Chains A and B, each alone.
Chain A
């Protein structure tokens, strides 16, 4: 009975069909990257159950306009199908024999590979650490979400921080919290924006903020970044009006473009307010000693990027110098720090921080699969060669 159900699931015909579907999906998922940002593509095509593939992606827009789209199984579906097909095949068809060991190992490797991609898809976390030269940073920023932070530094030992996550911020909402004496009225929330200087701003956008260090600037809303044209990160801004009860304190322009918190004084007490990328504080810190960006003589081509940092983690008794550069990440506390980018004029570094509990899986699975293939084809090759000699 059990075998009866398994048999069709184990068929090689199904395997070939899954391969064919996967090939088409990967092909489409590559072409669509011309129009859509990679993250959207990965979510829509490769980590989804189904995907709507627009037919236009197969023909350049300049040649012809093609309407319509087809539903297609997504990467998750095909991955699961491959997984089931493989397991069923081994349950039904393959008995453990010495001759089969190569195939079994190969398939084991492939199963692990699928599991690894699954784990990465669901459990991996990515963030950024931006450090200026001479600065010490102990938090990771998630550049795909933002928050409004209000800091009260009046306590000499601990700062009091109130965080308003992006999900709560919308145009025409009022935010209040018993820990802060004022309320925040959001007059305009821009999930992605552009910052203009005093001379660039159109008349209609001038003077929307009357207080704070950013009052001379103007923010313009932009559509959300889709990864095309180089922009992969949303840069949110917000116009807010702060109220102390009925009394107006002032209107501020908060933005991730403004890299300092702005001062708010209420009843003689000082608070700092900022819109910033969402932070996660860490028990360790990185201090950037020096960032190097070397070019080949007489060209604009990069020869090398490197960050000389000091890693301090008291809980783990770590205090040492580390050099992070291309192809040489730092691995610490389950996270990996890569040289990703740098600030203008080489004033600092941007490290990408990846926490992926499954990072070892591909290494293991590939070793197993490669070994399996070599054994499998090796076993067949040896008698052929022997016959020849």
Chain B
């Protein structure tokens, strides 16, 4: 028995590595007489970026249906197969149930409210096309901020139908490469209309015709010729293109979130067995958790590094990647904390924050290419590297302190784990993280100011996002000064740290939701609901923390003097 407990972490480590390794190393090939594996690598241009066709197919399908493949009775259809069917065999394609519709009122408008499903075919929608169009026209006249959920949903549907049509009519993406490197990519339809003898377009046409005529051998041969032709007159990074296809298939962040979720379960069981006074098992389970987190961390690092390689940019370029990076940073902090203070708490925090930020990222990224091109003003690798990375670390650290605070409250109130010593050392950790957060958020904000001075002519403009950053700095400073002045002790520190979660969430997402200011590149509209839920949950945690210490299950051996109430935030 004893042996199993010692071995378990190692077994878990090996299994996790095997799991992640086989996912990473052996991306699934499409089994078909048609050479889709080559077809999906051909370069095209969409939203200003040259990328493999695979990325366009996946992102479009993801946008329309919320998935990267279609499940049918005859098995799975991958995005690239769906795409080629869409452009060569529209009669079949319009019958596929791919349009995801969640809003019940939208279904009423289309007259499909009695269907027991959430995905519908283009044919079904086309029947109500005029009505959708009229509703979308009405909704588009309302200002974006003032639209109600129905109006937003109908516009999303209309947008999806447009994407579908543009894809099927070969308007987008631009499939025909430029005549020479440096020229613009061309739309297939317009090339065929204006210059029917264009060699590239003709070669591509014969590929598509072969597919339509069900001739796999011809398809493969024509595809080879087309690729050769393209390679002969434009230069693009074929290796990058191949790598991007692999990156699309592997989806490292999904692997990581699976591991983090499992790690969290291990952590919970580990904590539970401490309660049942089974220290061996507890150590073993927590060790297993740490092992899984390490593997997840490595996978995420590979994912981030791949994005850096593919984009040629620093790891954070938009809200999506900032969420991923925050998760990554929190995991790192958690692992470090666990090495210092062998409680297993850092790991639990790491898995919770890592998992939830990956979910947030997944939702943010579901509407399109997560490696989109950047607005002109953001096009500066230097500032993206310094300002954005540093401030995101600051945000992560503030969050981390807050989540440690929640753990402190929950463990203290509901378990007996926090004795005097552990309670003290946990509060010390939180304090340390807040110091770190203060420095990084201050430096990050300042670097942002310098960037703003370079590009807009003022260091500080009281813009919404700038104010958000300032709020985080001020909040951290408030906590530190209150602590130094003896106005709060451990519990006050913990409570204020939890409130820091609200401040950070508001600055990170809330300021984008206001839709004002120079920084409103964000695209978070439906997130308001989740932000409110989050704020309420944090306030709930703080009120649990307000329960008199005498009622806490953890007894701090010397009755701690109840700290004077922390200066309530004026909000």
Give residues of chain A (338-358) contacting chain B, Cβ–Cβ below 8 Å: 338, 340, 352, 354, 356
Task: Report the separation of the CA atoms of residues A29 and B454 in the bound assembly, to the nearest whole angstrom.
Answer: 24
Query: What string of 1s and 0s marks CB contacts (under 8 Å) between B152-192 and chain A?
Result: 00000000000000000000111000000000110100000
Q: Is A282 an interface residue (CB 8 A)?
A: no
Q: Is B104 an interface residue (CB 8 A)?
A: no
Instruction: State which of A38-46, A187-195, A268-276, A308-316 sits at the interface with chain B.
Output: A38-46
Complex partner residue of B460 from A21, A117, A295, CB under 8 angstroms: A117
Complex partner residue of A16 from B45, B47, B185, B478, CB under 8 angstroms: B478
Q: Are A338 and B455 in contact (CB under 8 A)?
A: yes
Determine how close the nearest CB of chain A comes to the CB of B141; give it in whole angstroms. Answer: 15
Q: Are B377 and A327 in contact (CB under 8 A)?
A: yes
Q: Is A217 an interface residue (CB 8 A)?
A: no
Which chain B positions have C-beta within 8 A of A326?
376-377, 379-380, 455
Q: Are A46 and B487 in contact (CB under 8 A)?
A: no
Q: Are B185 and A298 in contact (CB under 8 A)?
A: yes
Q: Are B373 and A23 in contact (CB under 8 A)?
A: no
Complex partner residue of B446 from A23, A45, A338, A366, CB under 8 angstroms: A366
Which chain B positions have C-beta within 8 A of A329?
454-455, 457
Q: Is A12 an interface residue (CB 8 A)?
A: yes
Instruction: State which of B18-26, B124-132, B466-474 sits at the interface with chain A.
Output: B466-474
Q: Are A305 and B376 in contact (CB under 8 A)?
A: yes
Q: Are A370 and B379 in contact (CB under 8 A)?
A: no
Complex partner residue of B514 from A11, A33, A45, CB under 8 angstroms: A33
Complex partner residue of B570 from A23, A298, A336, A354, CB under 8 angstroms: A23
Q: Are B373 and A15 in contact (CB under 8 A)?
A: no
Complex partner residue of B47 from A46, A124, A298, A363, CB under 8 angstroms: A298
Query: What string of 1s and 0s marks CB contacts (under 8 Å) between B436-451 and chain A?
Result: 1011001100100111
Which chain B positions have C-beta within 8 A of A318?
none
Q: Are B450 and A19 in contact (CB under 8 A)?
A: no
Determine how close the nearest CB of chain B comes to the CB of A387; give it in whole angstroms. Answer: 12
Q: Are A30 and B375 in contact (CB under 8 A)?
A: no
Task: Report the separation of the CA atoms of residues A15 and B467 in the bound assembly, to the nearest whole angstrom.
Answer: 20
Q: Are A16 and B462 in contact (CB under 8 A)?
A: no
Residue of A nearest to B470 (CB): A26
Residue of B nearest to A302 (CB): B376
Q: Are B461 and A38 in contact (CB under 8 A)?
A: yes
Residue of A nearest to B380 (CB): A327
Q: Are B47 and A362 in contact (CB under 8 A)?
A: no
Task: Report the separation of the CA atoms of residues A29 and B463 in the bound assembly, to the nearest whole angstrom.
Answer: 9
Query: What string of 1s and 0s marks CB contacts (under 8 Å) between A216-256 and chain B?
Result: 00000000000000000000000000000000000000000
Determine how close the nearest CB of chain A comes to the CB of B175; give it in whole angstroms. Answer: 11
Which chain B positions have C-beta within 8 A of A117?
460
Q: Are A338 and B457 in contact (CB under 8 A)?
A: yes
Known contacts A24-B570, A30-B468, A326-B377: does B185 contact A354 (CB below 8 Å)? no
Q: Are B462 and A42 in contact (CB under 8 A)?
A: yes
Q: Are B377 and A301 in contact (CB under 8 A)?
A: no
Q: Is B422 an interface residue (CB 8 A)?
A: no
Residue of B nearest to A228 (CB): B516
Query: What string of 1s and 0s marks CB contacts (under 8 Å) between A255-298 and chain B?
Result: 00000000000000000000000000000000000000001111
Given contacts A298-B46, A305-B376, A366-B450, 20 further A-B contacts (CB under 8 A): A16-B567, A20-B478, A24-B571, A26-B474, A29-B462, A29-B467, A33-B514, A34-B515, A41-B462, A295-B48, A297-B185, A302-B375, A326-B376, A326-B455, A328-B454, A336-B457, A340-B457, A359-B453, A359-B459, A370-B439
19 examples of A-B residue contacts, CB within 8 angstroms: A12-B484, A15-B485, A16-B485, A26-B467, A26-B470, A30-B511, A116-B459, A120-B459, A120-B460, A298-B185, A299-B47, A302-B375, A303-B48, A303-B379, A327-B380, A338-B455, A338-B456, A373-B439, A377-B435
> Chain B: residues with CB nearer than 8 A to chain A?
45-49, 146, 172-174, 184-185, 187, 340, 373, 375-377, 379-380, 383, 435-436, 438-439, 442-443, 446, 449-451, 453-464, 467-468, 470-471, 474-475, 477-478, 481-482, 484-485, 487, 503, 511, 514-517, 567, 569-571
> Chain A: residues with CB nearer than 8 A to chain B?
11-13, 15-17, 19-24, 26-27, 29-31, 33-34, 38, 41-42, 45-46, 62, 116-117, 120, 124, 126, 295-299, 301-305, 326-329, 336, 338, 340, 352, 354, 356, 359, 362-363, 366, 369-370, 373-374, 377, 388
